[in-house]
A and B are shown apart, each in its own frame.
Chain A
Amino acid sequence: MKQKTETGSMRKALAETLVELAGRDDKIWVVDADLKSSLGLSEFAQKFPNRFVEAGVAENNAMGVAAGLARTGKIVFVGSYACFSPAINWAVIKQSVVYNQIGGVKIIGSHAGLLTGYQGSSHQMLEDVALMRAIPEMEVFAPVDAVETKKIVRAMTYSRKPGYIRVVRPETPIWTKKRDRWIIGRPTKIQNGRDITVVGYGPVLAGAMAAQTELTLGRKKTSLEIIGVGTIKPLELEMIVKSVSKTGRLLVVEDHQKNGGLGEWLAASLMLRKIKFDFRHLGIRDRFGQSGRDPWELYEVYSIGRRAILDTIKKWTK
């Protein structure tokens, strides 16, 4: 059981890694859509002005330009809020980037999920994983924490395929260890356990960790095996298959619509492998987000936080 009080900012981790990589590799460019300070890209713009394109409030063009730049050999990070990119420019991603085999475009979807907070529904992208998973060849990443964010950014920069990375607005707890290696396709075991396999991506796993703390204080010593899926596509299933075969119970938690999210796909994949398991799925149930000053409270309201996880587990293991 891990007590994690250290927190970190995914946005900051991403931006710092980009600056670090760009200092060593002049192929790395950034295209922004009027959100550079929010995405933490001001330092990049200042240090590498000749590799920074400010496209203004024009996400379609920003994406097309990124594709064109990448065709001349650049590795181009094109960043905005997830509710704008890929939401607005999905068709430009599909055609100008992926259909045209441009592996050098790396898409940053910031402020993803409910954690955007007070800005409300229009700025809470709950469908981005569904959108991006559906595009052939697109790699989809959702780091568990700031530490993992750095590793993912490094890996996706030099991947030959186009990639999408989903990061959130607030600082989030850190569970992964700096020294652990991160490989595209391989999920991260955050905690070993016997009774229930909990799989999730991004900061929802904070709820699972908190739930574990409460469970161990109760009479039933339910132990959770918690797996963080920073790499949603591609995803090697061995670790999860092994875990679910052991526990017989799979709980998927995601800050995303259930429709088109990870849970549906994971359950189907395990069924195809003839694994026998009991399934629970916590995600956004076909509804929009809303404003909230405390982002973590939103998790509770939408039943993907600690309370919902606890309730689900308690009912399950009665």
Chain B
Amino acid sequence: MGKEDGLELLFAIVVDNLVIGDRADPAKLGRLVTKGRIRIDSSQKRVVGNLVGSIRIGNLAGDKVEEVEIVLLIKRVHGGLIYHILSAILKLMWWQNNRKRELSERALRVRRRILEMVYRAGEGHFGGPLSVTDILVVLRFGEVFDWGRDEWLMSAGHLAPAVYGVLIEEGKLKEEEVAEFGRLGARVQGHLSRETPGVTYGAGLLGQGLSVGLGMALGDPSRQVIVVTTDGEHQEGQTWEAISLAAKYRVGNLINIVDRNRMQIDGSTEEVMPLGDLGQKYLVWGWRVFEADGHDLGDLRKKMELARRESDVPVAIIAKTIMGKGIREIEDNYHYHDIKGMTERQYKKWQEELR
């Protein structure tokens, strides 16, 4: 950085009736409120600063914008300054929020499909698919990985409804197939089947997927292999065998995203078979660890990006999630790990919530 003028500018910009993007949707008009602290380095004609702000659009709750560093070339020191700052902020926030909004909408659609599948089938795994949804949406649509080259697999086969929800999003399965879940002859089998388009690993027994992902990563070091596991799955000893071997061979292209919702069939994980600080355990085993808010799309994306960049050792992302996320009534309740005989009343009520 060059010589500083030492001029600090504290500002607040409030703009009403902001139109975001090309489509002027009256329901989406909102307020942009942002404040920050910037330094003006006029010798280099640059403005550098940190901005933290929030944007409220329509009825959606405010999205937090991450701290970003914006470097602008300013044409005029004073007159156009505010304008340029504002347009840079808007561009960045629009991009981030548009993407995040898009991801958010996808996640909502996936959750609706999960509800649909489990209701129509009369039974199914429920809480887990709901808790892993955001992870899968960011993984597949967050533009972190190169899906022409990288590979992923879901190790927990019972999270199939979430995977199918995402595969429909990807266009590999048809929307109508939500009515077929678990039916004879359906592509959407009760647990993941290798025969289903887009399913990369036919799973059902827990604890094996990380081994398989490790083998894939060893076999082709040029691509990333992302395995999605559940915390409960870590009670299977084979998981730790794989963790050990991955550390031994420093498999830097392997990433394990853990759906840490702290629940399993018979109760909370910490009551049934305590896992404790999973992240710490991975660290001791020789992995690199990131912790993420498993329902904050921006945070998930950031941590996946960081994981992708780590190439020396395998990476675990411990994603803090809530079982049943999205349907308040069942959140954090292990009794909804799976559900049988969902009533029409429950279905309609929960449908409303996922709107």
Q: Measuring CB to CB, which residues of chain A are less than 8 angstroms from any residue of chain B?
A: 53, 55-56, 58, 60-61, 63-74, 91-92, 95-96, 99-101
Q: Which of A64, A68, A73 has the most CB of B within 10 A?
A: A68
Indicate if the CB atoms of B208 and A95 lie closer than 8 Å: yes
Q: Which of A61, A64, A100 has the most CB of B within 10 A?
A: A61
A sample of 6 cross-chain residue pairs with beta-carbon separation below 8 angstroms, ordered by A number, consists of: A61-B211, A65-B245, A70-B219, A71-B216, A92-B238, A100-B202
Indicate if the CB atoms of B220 and A72 lie closer than 8 Å: yes
Residues on the B chain within 8 Å of A101, using CB: 194
The 9 closest A-B pairs by CB, nearest first: A68-B215, A64-B211, A72-B219, A61-B241, A65-B215, A58-B241, A60-B238, A68-B216, A68-B212
Chain B: residues with Cβ within 8 Å of the partner, total of 27
Q: Chain B nearest CB: distance from A69 CB in Å?
A: 4
User: Quick check: is B127 within 8 A (CB to CB) of the other chain?
Assistant: no
Indicate if the CB atoms of A95 and B216 lie closer than 8 Å: no
- Are A69 and B211 also in contact (CB < 8 A) when A61-B242, A64-B242 are? no
**B interface, by DSSP: helix, strand, loop or mixed?**
helix
Complex Cα–Cα for A226 and B56 (A): 85
Complex Cα–Cα for A154 and B211 (A): 27
Indicate if the CB atoms of A67 and B194 lie closer than 8 Å: no
Contact of A71 among B205, B210, B215 (CB under 8 A): B215
Query: When each residue 218-241 of chain B gets 1 if its CB lies under 8 Å from chain A and 0 otherwise, what string results?
Result: 111000000000000000011001
Those of B198-220 within 8 Å (CB) of chain A: 201-205, 207-220
User: Quick check: is B244 within 8 A (CB to CB) of the other chain?
Assistant: yes
Q: Measuring CB to CB, which residues of chain B are less than 8 angstroms from any residue of chain A?
A: 194, 201-205, 207-220, 237-238, 241-242, 244-245, 249
Indicate if the CB atoms of A68 and B219 lie closer than 8 Å: yes
Indicate if the CB atoms of A64 and B219 lie closer than 8 Å: no
Indicate if the CB atoms of A74 and B219 lie closer than 8 Å: yes
Indicate if the CB atoms of A63 and B245 lie closer than 8 Å: no
Complex Cα–Cα for A69 and B220 (A): 8
Residues on the A chain within 8 Å of B244, using CB: 56, 58, 61
Contact of A64 among B194, B220, B238, B249 (CB under 8 A): B238
- Are A61 and B238 also in contact (CB < 8 A) when A55-B245, A68-B211 are? yes
Indicate if the CB atoms of B205 and A67 lie closer than 8 Å: no
Indicate if the CB atoms of A70 and B215 lie closer than 8 Å: yes
Q: Chain A nearest CB: distance from B350 CB in Å?
A: 32
Complex Cα–Cα for A56 and B209 (A): 19
Indicate if the CB atoms of A65 and B211 lie closer than 8 Å: yes
- Are A72 and B216 also in contact (CB < 8 A) when A61-B241, A99-B194 are? yes
Complex Cα–Cα for A291 and B226 (A): 47
Indicate if the CB atoms of A68 and B202 lie closer than 8 Å: no
Complex Cα–Cα for A67 and B242 (A): 13
Residues on the B chain within 8 Å of A61, using CB: 211, 214, 238, 241-242, 244-245
Residues on the B chain within 8 Å of A69, using CB: 215-216, 218-219
Q: Chain A nearest CB: distance from B278 CB in Å?
A: 19
Complex: chain A residue closest to B205, CB-CB: A95
Task: List 10 additional A-B contacts (Cβ < 8 Å) besides A64-B210, A67-B215, A91-B205.
Answer: A60-B211, A61-B245, A65-B211, A65-B245, A68-B214, A69-B216, A71-B212, A99-B194, A100-B194, A100-B212
